[in-house]
Structure 1
């Protein structure tokens, strides 16, 4: 029998680029939808478990001695290359669902704050190493990185070819401008 983490791993991989349904999540997990309900209580319970898992996965500081490389890896993780317009729209739909639900919105806020703290620590460490040059507070740079990623995702959602507005490229370009 699979653990909750194993189930959530399979669901997260499957729903990251497609519309989220309980049936699709169950299929990705290799389970019947009723089994997911028994494990997580409801469709919302699955979403809450996925959100808590994401929040807990956000690092609290640099994971290596090269914070600039970590920033670039974060930028790369934002890429929509190889994802269809429908997949990008699914990401926007998931965001909208989080915003409509008070508990999911709270987890999103917590996750974004942790991500902002993490990016701030990376930018600060990259400035200390001389990898980045900034004349504004590092927290502001971290906010601009997150805002650039979010804005580029919205642009990708409306672009005929999502890769033309790839968040990875936008964040990478901003980081390059600071080197």
Structure 2
């Protein structure tokens, strides 16, 4: 099994995590032995760094289709927390807080968010040129508003009695609709 396959398995289990995860818990959920993760990555921290680098590398650097608006809508749909419990949402927030506390993980989070902003800005540019978004706001500002709305609504979803009422996909879609 390659490191990439191991990271795929571990990453897929993180979405279902109901609490802050341990190396042993991540290994078990991925159907692996803790020793496998230690042998391949060295430590829990190194595994988190590998997962973060993988996340950053997976963010597109430019639009992948000719229809920027449709691609933007697909990005928005990917934000949905539909089916997630409050416990799962809080676990996701715990992971972000852990990233913020660690200088190396914080740097990777910053790089990922900057890459998202460039990607979203390019999508907005493309949609504006096609007349699908009529906002006169510069695309970097629109991208920032979309990303900040996604992050803020994730916080709201984590505290809402019914997380679906504050689904980030709905919030960001509503913002995008106001810009049409």
Q: What TM bracket, shorter-length normalisation?
A: over 0.9
- Give the Cα separation in 2 of the matches to 1:17 and 1:102: 26
CA distances 1:29-71 after superposition (whole Å, capped 9, x unpaired): 3211121011001000110000000000110111001111111
Task: Return structure 1 stretches of 4+ with deviation > 3 angstroms.
Answer: none
Q: Determine the structure 2 residue equivalent to 1:129.
A: 130
What runs of 5+ residues in structure 2 fail to find an aligned partner? Answer: none
CA distances 1:117-168 after superposition (whole Å, capped 9, x unpaired): 0000000000001110112111000000000001100000100111110000
Matches within 5 A, 1:22-37: 22-37=23-38
Q: Does 1:50 align with 2:22?
A: no
Contact 1:145 1:174 in 2 (8 A): yes
Q: Determine the structure 2 residue equivalent to 1:66.
A: 67
- Give the Cα separation in 2 of the matches to 1:141 and 1:15: 30
Q: Determine the structure 1 residue equivalent to 2:98.
A: 97
- Report the TM-score, using the length of structure 1 for normalisation: 0.97
What value does the CA root-mean-square deviation take over the aligned residues?
0.8
Deviation of residue 178 (structure 1)? 1.4
- Report the TM-score, using the length of structure 2 for normalisation: 0.96
Q: Determine the structure 2 residue equivalent to 1:39.
A: 40
- Give the Cα separation in 2 of the matches to 1:97 and 1:156: 19
SS at match of 1:136: coil
Contact 1:71 1:119 in 2 (8 A): yes
Q: Does 1:3 align with 2:2?
A: yes
Deviation of residue 24 (structure 1)? 2.0
What runs of 5+ residues in structure 1 fail to find an aligned partner? Answer: none
Aligned length: 178
